[in-house]
Structure 1
Amino acid sequence: MAVEIIMPKMGMAMKEGTVAIWHKKVGDTVKKGELIASIQSEKIEAEIEAPADGTIIDISVSEGIGVPPGAVIGYIGNKNEQVPSQPDPATQATEHQEIAATVEIDKKRKKATNQASNGKIKISPVARKMAEAAGLSIEHIHGTGPQGRITKEDVTEALAQNDAEKGEMKAAAVEASKQLKVEGMRKVIADRMYTSIQHTAQLTLNSKADVTELQALQRKLTSIAEKNHHNKLTITDFIAKAVVLSLQKHEQMNSAYVNEHIQQFANIHLGIAVALENGLVVPVIKHAEQASLLHISQQIKLLAQKAREGTLESEEMAGSTFTISNLGAYGIEHFTPILNPPETGILGVGAIEVRPAFIGENIEKRSYLPLSLTFDHRVLDGAPAAAFLKTVVQLLEEPHALLL
């Protein structure tokens, strides 16, 4: 005689259970106690074991279908046995309430081991998917289902505990960190940079200059300068001279936006940013339009030395009309320098890159210098700013013009 497979009553409040997965199909032979289906209600998941030895001769309730506890969801019998006539599911449920109640699951039972007798962890399919998606190891999740089976509620609880532990770790990290009061030079820099961003319309243009010939000229002139003036010429010195000549040609860049007026300066006071251990200072080469390449080089070195020694006078850091910031020593290429208020422009200099390039029909090794120009769009538009940057590039690529 065929044996009914009953939807169990999983908890006193359960009104309906759903077949999540059938692990067996019609025609499969099963042994009593063998897993044949996974079911779930709103709050609980469980597995149904075969109530007898035999063959699955009918599956009455398909996967995803919900029925009341006590309803017949399938039959086990002999291989060719006929399926009994099936009454209304509600009638079935009423008739089998007592049977369903005998397999009621107490979710509050003591936590059982996750290991079945064969060492395999028992976990519902839904719970397994949740754990895999969250990257949780099921070996460390305590199961509260039958025989220690892990349910979706167990995974949810494990996730909540995991989040709580992460929160505690973050809190501990915050407690372990130290807070530094923003004061002195750092406070001045912070205030000036914030003011610069808040009160200007900044835009940055990027370009590159082929400085292969410039490097050759620099090496040649350096030996002469060291011999006659005890001074080594650097690429920064040539860049500074190129900027000064470009500012003379493009006067709009040598200006400031003050009280809704554009103030163009008659003289060029060139700021050279110097990085210190605790901040940044910008000493100024006054009247740079009157200075030779050698004088600019000497002033850059003198002011940088005084900056590092902390002996710069306040007037040596005031009145700049344009600034150069060089991060090439740090391997940086293009970057976005921030305006030094109230100036209209600042030129960022990156690290020289050596790469092959076509020169006519031939491939040669060339050196390229990245340049980043940030300007105040309230003072001038992109085209004149680009023209200024183009002039700087041309002077660096035709370095003998810097000596005239």
Structure 2
Amino acid sequence: MPINIEMPKLSDTMTEGTLVTWRKNVGEEVEIGDIIAEIETDKATMEMEAFDEGTIVEIKVQEGTKAPVGAILAVLAEEDEDVDAPAPAAAAAPAAAPAAASEPVAKEAAAPAPVAADGSRLRVSPLARKIAAEKGVDLNAVQGTGPNGRIVAADVEAAPVASAAAPAAPAVSPAPAAAPAAPAQGILPTVGPDDKVVPLSTMRKIIADRLLTSKVTIPHFYLHVECDAAPLMALRKQINAQTEQTGGNKYTVNDFIVKAIINAAQEVPAVNASYNGDSIVEFANVGISVAIAVEDGLVTPVVKEAQNKSLLTISEEIKDMAKRARDKKLKPSEFDGGTITISNLGAWGVEGFDAIVNPPQAAIVSVGGIIEKAVSVNGEIKSGLRMNLGLSCDHRVVDGAVAATFLNAVKKFVEQPTLMLV
């Protein structure tokens, strides 16, 4: 019996997903473990594996289309199976929403099952159907030699050229998408022919919703402190020179800042907390969410139980997560368990900024670039390396003095980096 491939639930909060790309098309064979599609969820774009084997005989949800969890995405037939037999219906799964006019369509959609002259459904093997589509053979003109008159691949291969079906009419180009409605806060300028209208991806919609909720419902306040980054840069240079000779791990500035935040969160646990309605939860473990820029937005995978990990382990984990984030290979579980976030824009030349709290966390540390500037040292003006650290807090959880104590603890570890190695 044909097997339905359904929209999987890839995270605890996922209710729908967007089918970004089909990796397999109609007529292609699928084995267990094959990547058959890319699904965009509320957290990231992830690869979907096949849990059954067979041949894809129908694609029901086109690329760029949203579908709720449980909706039928495609139909898979086992070898030598009668693909005209209906697949079992998905359990109470609503139909997938149609693609918008501006969204891309699937690479290949399944043709309707052929019907014989007497109105009965033709019995066709998946391979025969694929060959017929490629050669343009009219299956109604082919005599089946398989069991019960089923048309097999050899029948299509032997079909005369005269049986080729007329070419299909060219697809009608979709009408251009209507200009977006004016936002409530003002009047949108007229959208001209040279303007680019970019539909929001699932990720961007989730980012927009979460950040709006954060700014509207969380009373933010912000602190800044300037650090002497020279000791950290000197230690990093020394360590990397040693590891370069041995082929070991190369440390980034961000690795040290992450470690400094972890240590500070242990010293000031009131910041490593969350608002819980009628209570505040102070977490025993430090789960540091690391903001990583990807093609369509920002993801924040978590280094879990970070207080128990060495600088080397933290550095290797972050590098691995960053690579897999850009390759869309992070797992849903890797986004759970965050208790505080770091956002570093130093690599983009930003000296300082205020980040938005990542709910339900109570604090996020913003990291600027290391700048060479004139500083006063014992009354003398010298050249120094300075770095701006910012802290955005949920005032329902963290008071100003507590936040200042935490931020100064981060500064202490940055300016005395050897403390992070003991």
Q: TM (normalized to structure 2)? A: 0.54
Partner of 1:215 in structure 2? 233
* Cα distance in 2 between the residues matched to 1:189 and 1:336: 17
Aligned partner letter, 2:398? L
Partner of 2:337 in structure 1? 319
Aligned partner letter, 2:254? T
Aligned partner letter, 2:402? P
The one of 233, 251, 259 aligned to 2:251? 233
Give 1:379 deviation, angstroms: 0.4
Verify the 8 A CA contact 1:225 1:233 in the aligned structure 2. no
**After the TM superposition, which residues 389-404 of structure 1 pair with which residues of structure 2 at under 5 Å, given as runs?**
389-404=407-422
**After the TM superposition, which residues 182-193 of structure 1 pair with which residues of structure 2 at under 5 Å, given as runs?**
182-193=200-211
The one of 178, 197, 213 aligned to 2:196? 178
The one of 390, 400, 418 aligned to 1:382? 400
1:343 aligns with 2:358: no
* Cα distance in 1 between the residues matched to 2:366 and 2:338: 16
* Cα distance in 2 between the residues matched to 1:344 and 1:171: 38
In the alignment, structure 1 segments of 5+ residues that lack a partner are 1-169
Partner of 1:258 in structure 2? 276
State the SS of the aligned residue for 1:351: strand
1:305 aligns with 2:323: yes
Say if 1:229 and 1:175 are closer, same or farther in 2 by CA, change over 3 A.
same
* Cα distance in 2 between the residues matched to 1:265 and 1:368: 32
Aligned partner letter, 2:347? A
State the SS of the aligned residue for 2:238: helix
Say if 1:171 and 1:261 are closer, same or farther in 2 by CA, change over 3 A.
closer
* Cα distance in 2 between the residues matched to 1:386 and 1:312: 34
Partner of 2:304 in structure 1? 286
State the SS of the aligned residue for 2:270: helix
Q: Deviations over 1:167-224 (max 9, x none)?
A: xxx9665454232222311111111111111221111111111011110000001122
Give 1:337 deviation, angstroms: 0.4
Partner of 2:266 in structure 1? 248
Say if 1:385 and 1:171 are closer, same or farther in 2 by CA, change over 3 A.
closer
Partner of 1:277 in structure 2? 295
**After the TM superposition, which residues 65-144 of structure 1 pair with which residues of structure 2 at under 5 Å, given as runs?**
none
The one of 202, 215, 219 aligned to 2:220? 202
Partner of 1:365 in structure 2? 383
Give 1:234 deviation, angstroms: 1.1
* Cα distance in 2 between the residues matched to 1:376 and 1:229: 43
Aligned partner letter, 2:215? I
1:334 aligns with 2:352: yes
How many residues are paired up?
235
**After the TM superposition, which residues 30-49 of structure 1 pair with which residues of structure 2 at under 5 Å, given as runs?**
none
Aligned partner letter, 2:416? E
* Cα distance in 2 between the residues matched to 1:370 and 1:381: 21
State the SS of the aligned residue for 2:196: coil
Q: Deviations over 1:40-85 (max 9, x none)?
A: xxxxxxxxxxxxxxxxxxxxxxxxxxxxxxxxxxxxxxxxxxxxxx
Give 1:233 deviation, angstroms: 0.8
Q: Deviations over 1:325-365 (max 9, x none)?
A: 00011111111101111001000001111012222244322
RMSD: 1.6
State the SS of the aligned residue for 1:380: coil
* Cα distance in 2 between the residues matched to 1:226 and 1:185: 38
Pair member with larger Rg: 1
Aligned partner letter, 2:256? F
Partner of 1:159 in structure 2? none
Aligned partner letter, 2:334? E
* Cα distance in 2 between the residues matched to 1:367 and 1:300: 25
Say if 1:303 and 1:226 are closer, same or farther in 2 by CA, change over 3 A.
farther
* Cα distance in 2 between the residues matched to 1:320 and 1:364: 40
Verify the 8 A CA contact 1:268 1:288 in the aligned structure 2. yes
Q: Percent identity?
A: 39
State the SS of the aligned residue for 2:251: coil
State the SS of the aligned residue for 1:365: strand
Give 1:225 deviation, angstroms: 3.0
